[in-house]
Structure 1
């Protein structure tokens, strides 16, 4: 059963944004999200999957910063 798009992040983020973020996930991102939200990685993942806006925004920052750091390091080596 698929979630109703209005339920995801209380309508603040569209399904396309959520799917895009899920495609960019890498190993360890939920661990970092858990640390940022002061909970276990499993609880952090559940919060994201359930559409918690704070979890979405934090995970977006984690992934974006990781990608920028990798890009910057690759350019400097």
Structure 2
């Protein structure tokens, strides 16, 4: 990879969440996504699910933090219910 390509990739990674979250953190969160998470994110951000998804993809830190809470709470709820049944 050329030096110019390295700089371009570095710039793209820094734009995500304004450098507050790493590409690895974003990828890990994306891997935990399930059907309906963007719908819930849209409700939380008072916008459509498509707009919420675009905000997350563009690196909006509020969208990232909200989606992280949504996914974590969903996973905790499922775990808790499975342990009680």
Q: Assess same fold via TM > 0.5.
A: yes
1: CA distance between counterparts of 2:14 and 2:65? 17
Q: TM-score, normalised by structure 1?
A: 0.96
- Matched residue, 2:4: none
Determine the C-alpha separation between the residues in 1 that align with 2:54 and 2:12.
17
> TM (normalized to structure 2)?
0.87
Deviation at 1:4, TM superposition (A): 1.1
* Structure 2 portions without partners, runs of 5+: 1-8
CA-based RMSD of the aligned residues comes to: 1.4
The structure in which a higher percent of residues are helix is: 2
Unaligned runs of 5+ in 1: none
Shift of residue 43 of structure 1? 0.1
1:69 matched to 2:77? The reply is yes
Paired positions, count? 77
Instruction: Name 1:26's counterpart in structure 2.
Output: 34
Report deviation, 1:58: 0.0
